[in-house]
């Protein structure tokens, strides 16, 4: 288990999606990067949100679709 985090550079807070490592995650990240580009949104994978205070507060979403929608409104 891991968390995919999306953070808009220089903004406070981030979006978090609980997921698993692997090919599907890699493909999902590439899909998002193609959609939003590489400039303003940082995508990272972390093991424990509590260990990464610099991305707080977290807004947790339950689905990939919700994750993408939330990024579009960043």
In this prediction, residue 58 has a pLDDT band, given cuts at 50, 70 and 90, of very high
Q: What is the mean pLDDT of the chain?
A: 94
In this prediction, residue 38 has a pLDDT band, given cuts at 50, 70 and 90, of confident
Query: pTM (2 decimals)?
Result: 0.92
Q: Among 17, 24, 73, 8, which residue's Cα sits nearest to residue 45?
A: 17
Stronger pLDDT, 25 or 73, i.e. the higher one: 25
């Amino acid at each position: 288990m891991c968390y995919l985090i999306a953070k808009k550079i220089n903004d406070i807070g981030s979006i978090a999606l609980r997921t698993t490592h692997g090919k599907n995650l890699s493909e999902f990240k590439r899909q998002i990067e193609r959609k939003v580009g590489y400039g303003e949104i940082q995508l990272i994978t972390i093991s424990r949100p509590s260990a990464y205070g610099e991305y707080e507060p977290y807004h947790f979403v339950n689905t990939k679709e919700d994750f993408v929608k939330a990024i579009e409104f960043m």
